[in-house]
């Protein structure tokens, strides 16, 4: 009897394993042209059941996404476009996650927004000749994470209008977009924001109230801007929650480490950017004192993600 159960068990495990391979939920499509009114051709992946696919990765593909292209993928909720050339998206496309890196794709405007009504995460890094109308952000009502880098913004001063009705946004990265100013109330609607990346832009000043309403912020990146006269006390509102800070050494060099630690008691790490640590005796001393309080000076991979990926155009 035991033997039978054992054999049956093996059989069950084997068929289960077969099922797992059949249930692959992700497929990568390479060097393929998406033609109008044609189903996406999954060459060489016949064994995959289209009905289980949740994530399609287009690599070096081109063409159009219309009502026919992806209609046989009922569970599809994530699309990654990698170094591809997508000329148009002409159908309502109810995916939750869109990632596009180093590609050509339609500009982010109202027309594109209407095609993507269910997005929760939008990740647009290093796309070519890519224009962004920031007034459409707020129309993505379900957006939780928004990352845009190396885009051509139609306006370069961040205002509150951009993020109206985005009360559920938790992560915002606007790194490396030539943005040059921020109104003092710009982030006031982002009540649950946990991460804010403003690195690699052209900000020269920050208003002392700009982070004040961000009561959940854990990671803030502002290095690689031209901010002078930064008063660290502007971060006073962050004392109960800020854990990671990306800031240029020049913005801290007039400050002693003890007062810095006192200002931000929840801090776990500080990053001065992606380059090596500043070759500056003072910075070394500063970081040593931080370390004695279990705060590390690190080279982070949290901010300026497009710089790490190396998609600078
Ligand atoms: C991308 O696809 C095109 C056409 O399908 C092909 O000619 C080219 O070699 C591919 N490039 C790379 C880098 O794979
Ligand atoms: C950005 O957009 C503006 C307005 O459409 C255009 O004049 C400019 O050439 C664009 N710049 C880049 C780098 O694409």
| Tens digit of pLDDT at every position of the chain (313 positions) | 444 444 444 444 444 444 445 568 999 999 999 999 999 877 655 556 888 899 999 999 999 999 999 888 999 999 999 999 999 999 999 999 999 999 999 999 999 999 999 999 999 999 999 999 999 999 999 999 999 999 999 999 999 999 999 999 999 999 999 999 999 999 999 999 999 999 999 999 999 999 999 999 999 999 999 998 888 888 999 999 999 999 999 888 788 999 999 999 999 999 999 876 777 888 999 999 999 999 999 999 999 987 777 654 4
Joined together, the tokens standing for residue 95 give 């995916």
Give me the CATH number covering residue 85.
Answer: 3.80.10.10
Q: Note the pLDDT of residue 130.
A: 97
Q: Which residue has the tokens 């596009």?
A: 100
Tell me the CA–centroid distance for residue 59 and ligand 1, in Å. 9
- β partners of residue 101: 82, 125
Is residue 88 in a domain? Answer: yes
Q: Note the pLDDT of residue 18.
A: 43
Q: Note the pLDDT of residue 8.
A: 44
Pair 299, 213 in one domain: yes
Q: Note the pLDDT of residue 47.
A: 58
Is residue 9 in a domain? Answer: no
Is residue 163 in a domain? Answer: no
Tell me the CA–centroid distance for residue 128 and ligand 2, in Å. 11
Pair 222, 115 in one domain: no
Q: Which of the listed residues 152, 154, 155, 156 should we mutate to test ligand 2's pocket, taking the one with most ligand atoms within 8 A of CB?
A: 152
Q: Note the pLDDT of residue 50.
A: 83
Tell me the CA–centroid distance for residue 154 and ligand 2, in Å. 8
Is residue 205 in a domain? Answer: yes
Boundary (domain end) residue, out of 105, 128, 155: 155
Q: Which residue has the tokens 């885009």?
A: 151
Number of domains in the chain: 2
Boundary (domain end) residue, out of 155, 177, 204: 155
Is residue 167 in a domain? Answer: no
Tell me the CA–centroid distance for residue 313 and ligand 1, in Å. 19
Pair 212, 149 in one domain: no
Is residue 189 in a domain? Answer: no
Q: Note the pLDDT of residue 305.
A: 83
Helix (H/G/I), strand (E/B), else coil: 79: strand
Pair 32, 149 in one domain: yes
Pair 216, 108 in one domain: no
Pair 221, 296 in one domain: yes
* Structural domain boundaries enclosing 78: 28-155
Ligand located closest to 34 CA: 1
CB-ligand 2 contact for 131 (6 Å cutoff) = yes
Is residue 174 in a domain? Answer: no
Is residue 134 in a domain? Answer: yes
Pocket of ligand 1, beta carbon within 6 A? 31, 60
Joined together, the tokens standing for residue 206 give 């920050």
Pair 144, 201 in one domain: no
Give, in order, the Cα–Cα distances in Å from 287 to each of 209, 284, 296: 27, 5, 7
Q: Note the pLDDT of residue 51.
A: 84
Shortest-distance Cα residue to atom 1 of ligand 2: 152
Measure the CA–CA gap between 53 and 65, rounded to whole angstroms.
Answer: 17
Tell me the CA–centroid distance for residue 145 and ligand 2, in Å. 26
Shortest-distance Cα residue to atom 5 of ligand 1: 31
Helix (H/G/I), strand (E/B), else coil: 133: coil
Q: Note the pLDDT of residue 24.
A: 82
């Amino acid at each position: 009897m035991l033997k039978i159960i054992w054999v049956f068990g093996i059989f069950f495990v084997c068929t289960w394993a077969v099922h797992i391979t059949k249930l692959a939920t992700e497929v990568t499509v390479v060097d393929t042209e998406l033609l109008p009114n044609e189903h996406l051709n999954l060459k060489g992946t016949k064994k995959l059941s289209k009905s289980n696919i949740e994530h399609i990765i287009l690599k070096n593909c081109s063409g159009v996404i219309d009502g026919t292209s992806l209609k046989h993928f009922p569970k599809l909720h994530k699309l990654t476009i990698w170094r591809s050339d997508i000329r148009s998206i002409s159908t309502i496309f109810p995916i939750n996650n869109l990632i596009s890196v180093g590609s050509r794709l339609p500009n982010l405007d109202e027309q594109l927004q209407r095609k993507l009504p269910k997005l929760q995460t939008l990740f647009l890094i290093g796309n070519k000749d890519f224009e962004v109308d920031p007034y459409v952000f707020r129309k993505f009502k379900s957006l939780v994470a928004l990352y845009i880098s190396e885009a051509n913004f139609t306006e370069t001063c961040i205002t509150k209008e951009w993020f109206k009705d985005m009360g559920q946004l938790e992560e915002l990265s606007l790194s490396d977009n030539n943005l040059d100013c921020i109104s003092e109330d710009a982030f006031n609607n982002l009540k649950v924001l946990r991460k804010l990346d403003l690195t690699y832009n052209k900000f020269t000043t920050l208003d002392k109230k700009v982070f004040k309403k961000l009561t959940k912020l854990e990671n803030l990146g502002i290095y690689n801007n031209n901010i002078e006269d930064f008063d660290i006390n502007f971060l006073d509102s962050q004392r109960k929650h800020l854990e990671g800070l990306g800031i240029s050494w020049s913005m801290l060099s007039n400050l002693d480490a003890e007062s810095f630690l006192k200002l931000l008691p929840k801090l776990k790490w500080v990053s001065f950017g992606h380059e090596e640590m500043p070759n500056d005796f003072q910075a070394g001393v500063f970081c040593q004192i931080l370390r004695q309080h279990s705060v590390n000076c690190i080279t982070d991979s949290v901010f300026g993600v497009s710089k790490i990926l190396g998609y600078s155009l």
